[in-house]
């Protein structure tokens, strides 16, 4: 088993590099086109202010998309993130109540609540066997009901010290983006170096095979959902620090559920799970940020922005899928893997399956 | 399964079969619907009057039609997130192009159908030829179409179609004895449902289910996968168009009409026991899912629950319903074994106790699952994979 995971991990790493590379090329292409377009209206794309705008635009969606990557790697989805974002911003702002002394408690409370929501998501997906799409749609609606009932508008007050996180920067790089990149680094390390991280690829790739290889298939999925909710809570904290208040609609207005999924897929992660990378996702988020920024600079009609966004999403993913099509083949169609499967299943599964059911 | 066994089922067996069907994930939605309707009738007795009930059906019609369209996409193994935007676009098209000129109604209606089919064709071709996951393809279409519609109208409510056109969603056949008025929406819903049932039974409809179950075997058995899949998207966009026509009359012209319909439709379809990922489900159950969802909202309304809690209750209900379907009966593993005795109520090998359907079900499933392993090892694997 260890040999198998080792080779698959090695192969996975090579592929991941390729996927990230394609996203990187796409990003460079978008930046070049964007720079030309921006230059055509007489502005400088690479000015410090503009770069700061782009990086600022990346940070919130980046947080959400990092968590979403983990969930999608496990072949699940998280549609509850926008409501977790809103809820986090409200809890943070309410608990801080303008007093800097409350910041640690408030942040801790937000993270605990988010982790509990993620735990609920993960348990519903793994133990109740509800499809991730439906489970998180359901928990999202439950949180939405809570928010609509208890909050009529913005609430709470964020102290100035906490607002600094969203406002300051080192040179042209905002602190919030640095934190986001640090989280991305931690996420990439988690996926590459920890056991649970490796198991996420296995479970997402094929739950049956993972189970037969002796992996507890539930745990990585639950962990992924918890981490996803926690990164969504980071996004909520960041938004609270930027707005100075908590808002019940800030998450849904950003459309973070669908946009984060789009960014993850744009970054080369398979929607069916099992393959992808955090850095690809960051690349996807950067592409969105650049496209948005170019449209803002060129003062495109806000409704047309959505049209462009939709076309960019589909076109980018289409380019990506058509390129990686050959690379995907061997995994499913190679002659070596196919004949082994039936015999393997006849012999092994009954005992293992029973054992698994007992333990799960 | 032969004619001899199905020919003479006793009343008890028939009842047991019916009970089994209600408890199985496939029939649970009907049980839920009946319970909800009875609860509403108890809270508000006037709801049970035929004229009130037909109004309820009229209100559900657009959602149910969208759910029927979504059913074909989901059972074929994909998603259509663009339906809500198609509804919005069609409503706005009807509002702006028809205007007060009744003579334009028919040409514009034809144009709307062509436009709907065109959107579905694009969705389908992006999914099949460009290999973009349907979630992303239809998400892009949703953003682009909604953006274009709002750009056209400037984001405001504009246009007001002629009254003759609005009658489709609003009016009906008046002066009937029991129900007073038979709304056109109900007629349209009935026609759509019948066509959908007929279509799902045709070879083409069965091919869609086969494709959703296992695309590889579907391809090997000679299916033109790309065309079948594309046609499901065309069907869903056309059903969104029909829902849009009804909503013009019922809800009026506004860019917010139709927003969120895609998720409502998916919820309804899943509530109807259709498995996300494809290959399993019944179109009538999908429509019943829409009715159950709307009945739930009506019930919450009558019970005086604040409207803000509607979403929370909806979320809880769909989780519970799907969890029930997934865990209680182990639908994925024994789906075939279970469904086979449900369609014709054949007597199970051991005489099942008729008073309690639930144990009868388990026993039955266990009994018919026993001969299964040898032919279906590969299949069991597929089922667990597809459903997760």
Average pLDDT over residues A297-317: 87
- Alpha carbon distance B363, A16 (integer Å): 48
What pLDDT shows up at residue A253? 85
Q: Which domain holds residue B142?
A: 51-322
Does residue B100 sit within a domain?
Answer: yes
Q: Would you state the pLDDT for residue B1?
A: 42
Q: What's the confidence (pLDDT) of residue A68? A: 94
Cα–Cα distance, B178 to A58 (Å, whole number): 61
Task: Report yes or no on B337 lying in a domain.
Answer: no
Q: Is the pLDDT of residue B376 over 60?
A: no
Q: What is the pLDDT of residue B178?
A: 67
Residue of A129, A254, A260, A267 to mutate, interface with B, max B Cβ within 10 Å: A129
Closest listed residue to residue B233, CA positions, set B47, B50, B72: B72
How many CA atoms lie within 13 Å of A292's alpha carbon, on the beta-carbon side?
A: 16
Tell me, yes or no, whether B388 lies in a domain: no
Q: Is residue B151 part of a domain?
A: yes
Q: Are B326 and B333 in contact (CB under 8 A)?
A: no
Residues in CB range of B142: below 8 A, 6 or more apart: A310, B81, B82, B84, B85, B262
pLDDT over threshold 50, residue B269: yes
What CATH number did the domain enclosing B236 receive? Answer: 1.10.3470
Please indicate whether, in this complex, the C-beta atoms of B315 and A265 are within 8 angstroms of each other.
Answer: no
Question: Does residue B146 belong to any structural domain of this protein?
Answer: yes
Residue A264 has pLDDT above 60, yes or no: yes
**Chain A, chain B: beta-carbon pairs less than 8 Å apart:** 164
Answer whether B269's CB lies under 8 Å from B70's CB.
yes
The closest of A85, A109, A114 to A240, measured between CA atoms, is A85
Secondary structure (DSSP) of B13-28: HHHHHHHHHHHSHHHH
Predicted ipTM beyond 0.90: no
| Chain B residues touching A354 at Cβ < 8 A | none
Disruptive mutation site among A84, A148, A273, A314 for chain B (greatest number of B CBs within 10 Å): A314
Q: What pLDDT was estimated at residue A13?
A: 47
User: How deeply is B247 buried, as exposed, middle or buried, from its count of CB atoms within 10 A (0-12, 13-18, 19+)?
Assistant: buried
Q: What is the pLDDT of residue B25?
A: 62
Contacts of B81 (CB under 8 A, 6+ apart): A258, B135, B138, B139, B141, B142, B262
Query: Does B38 map to a domain?
Result: no
Strand spans (E) along chain A = 169-170, 173-174
Residue A185 reports pLDDT greater than 90: yes
pLDDT at residue B335 is higher than 60: no
Measure the CA–CA gap between A211 and A360, rounded to whole angstroms.
11
User: What CATH number should be reported for the domain holding residue A164?
Assistant: 1.10.3470
A335 located within any domain: no
Q: How many residues does chain A have?
A: 360
Q: Which residues of A touch B387 (CB under 8 A)?
A: 129, 131
List Cα–Cα distances, A161 to A104, A230, B38, B110, in angstroms. 12, 22, 57, 61
In chain B the beta strands, taken as DSSP E runs, fall at 172-176, 180-183
> Domain containing A143: what range?
2-330+341-359
Q: Which residues of A touch B384 (CB under 8 A)?
A: 207-208
Higher confidence at residue B174 or residue B242?
B242
Inter-chain CB proximity A129 and B388 less than 8 Å: yes
What average pLDDT does chain A have? 82
- Give percent above pLDDT 70 in chain B: 78
Task: For residue B381, count CB atoms less than 10 angstroms from its CB and return exposed for 0-12, middle for 13-18, buried for 19 or more.
Answer: middle
Q: Do A128 and B311 touch (CB under 8 A)?
A: no
Instruction: Tell me what the mean pLDDT of segment A58-86 comes to.
Output: 93
Rounded percentage of chain A residues whose pLDDT exceeds 90: 39
The total domain count for chain B is 1
pLDDT of residue B23: 66
What integer pLDDT is reported at residue A347 of this predicted model?
A: 38
Task: Report how many domains make up chain A.
Answer: 1
Give domain status of residue B373, yes or no. no
H/E stretch holding B180 reads strand B180-183
Is there a domain that residue B188 lies in? yes
Candidates B151, B318, B327; nearest CB to A304: B151
């Amino acid at each position: 088993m260890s040999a198998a995971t080792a080779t698959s991990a090695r192969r996975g790493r090579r592929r991941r590099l390729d996927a990230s590379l394609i996203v990187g090329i796409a990003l460079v292409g978008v930046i070049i086109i964007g720079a030309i377009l921006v230059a055509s209206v007489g502005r400088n794309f690479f000015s410090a202010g503009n770069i700061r705008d782009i990086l600022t635009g990346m940070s919130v969606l980046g947080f959400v998309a990092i968590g979403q990557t983990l969930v999608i790697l496990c072949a699940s989805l998280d549609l509850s993130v926008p409501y977790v974002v809103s809820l986090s911003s409200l809890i943070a702002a309410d608990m801080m109540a303008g007093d800097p002394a409350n910041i640690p408690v408030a942040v801790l409370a937000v993270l605990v609540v988010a982790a509990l929501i993620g735990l609920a998501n993960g348990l519903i997906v793994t133990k109740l066997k509800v499809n991730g799409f439906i489970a998180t749609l359901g928990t999202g609606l439950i949180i939405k009901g809570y928010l609509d009932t208890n909050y009529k508008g913005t609430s709470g007050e964020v102290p100035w010290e906490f607002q600094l996180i969203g406002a300051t920067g080192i040179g042209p790089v905002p602190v919030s983006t640095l934190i986001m990149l640090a989280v991305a680094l931690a996420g990439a390390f988690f996926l590459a170096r920890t056991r649970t991280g490796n198991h996420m690829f296995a479970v997402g790739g094929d739950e049956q095979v993972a189970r037969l290889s002796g992996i507890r298939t539930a745990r990585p999925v639950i962990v992924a959902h918890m981490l996803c909710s926690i990164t969504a809570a980071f996004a909520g904290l960041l938004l609270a620090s930027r707005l100075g208040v908590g808002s019940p609609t800030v998450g849904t207005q950003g459309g973070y559920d669908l946009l984060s999924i789009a960014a993850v897929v744009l970054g080369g992660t398979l929607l069916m799970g099992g393959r992808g990378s955090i850095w690809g996702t960051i690349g996807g988020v950067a592409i969105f940020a650049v496209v948005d920024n170019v449209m803002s600079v060129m003062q495109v009609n806000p409704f047309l922005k959505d049209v462009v966004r939709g076309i960019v999403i589909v076109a980018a993913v289409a380019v990506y899928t058509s390129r990686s099509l050959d690379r995907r083949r061997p995994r499913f169609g190679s002659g070596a893997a196919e004949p082994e499967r039936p015999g393997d299943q006849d012999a092994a599964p009954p005992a293992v399956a029973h054992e698994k059911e007992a333990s799960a | 399964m032969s004619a001899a066994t199905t020919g003479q089922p006793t009343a008890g067996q028939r009842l047991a079969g019916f009970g089994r069907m209600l408890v199985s994930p496939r029939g649970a939605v009907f049980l839920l619907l009946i319970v909800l309707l009875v609860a509403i009738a108890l809270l508000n007795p006037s709801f049970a009057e035929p004229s009130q009930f037909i109004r309820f059906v009229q209100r559900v019609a657009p959602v149910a039609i969208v759910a029927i369209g979504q059913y074909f996409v989901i059972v074929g193994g994909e998603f259509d997130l663009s339906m809500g935007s198609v509804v919005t676009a069609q409503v706005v098209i009807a509002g702006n192009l028809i205007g007060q000129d009744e003579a334009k109604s028919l040409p514009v209606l034809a144009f709307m159908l062509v436009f709907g089919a065109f959107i579905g064709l694009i969705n389908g071709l992006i999914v099949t030829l460009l290999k973009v996951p349907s979630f992303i393809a239809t998400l892009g279409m949703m953003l682009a179409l909604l953006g274009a519609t709002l750009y056209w109208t400037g984001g405001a409510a504009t246009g007001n179609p002629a009254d003759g056109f609005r009658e489709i969603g609003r009016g009906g056949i008046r002066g009937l004895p029991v129900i007073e008025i038979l709304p056109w929406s109900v007629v349209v819903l009935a026609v759509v449902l019948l066509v959908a049932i007929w279509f799902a039974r045709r070879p083409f409809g069965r091919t869609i289910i086969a494709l959703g179950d296992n695309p590889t075997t579907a391809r090997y058995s000679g299916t033109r996968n790309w065309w079948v899949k594309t046609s499901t998207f065309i069907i869903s966009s056309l059903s969104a168009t029909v829902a849009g026509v009804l909503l013009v009359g019922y809800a009026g012209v506004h860019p917010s009409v139709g927003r969120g319909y895609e998720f409502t439709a998916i919820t309804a379809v899943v509530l109807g026991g259709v498995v996300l990922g494809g290959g399993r489900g019944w179109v009538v159950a999908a429509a019943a899912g829409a009715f159950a969802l709307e009945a739930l909202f009506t019930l919450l309304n009558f019970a005086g629950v604040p409207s803000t809690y509607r979403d929370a209750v909806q979320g809880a209900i769909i989780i519970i319903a799907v969890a029930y379907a997934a865990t209680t009966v182990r639908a994925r593993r024994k789906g075939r074994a279970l469904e086979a005795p449900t369609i014709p109520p054949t007597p199970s090998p051991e005489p099942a106790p008729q008073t309690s359907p639930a144990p009868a079900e388990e026993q039955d499933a266990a009994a018919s699952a026993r001969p299964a392993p040898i032919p279906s090892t590969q299949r069991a694997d597929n089922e667990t994979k597809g459903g997760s």
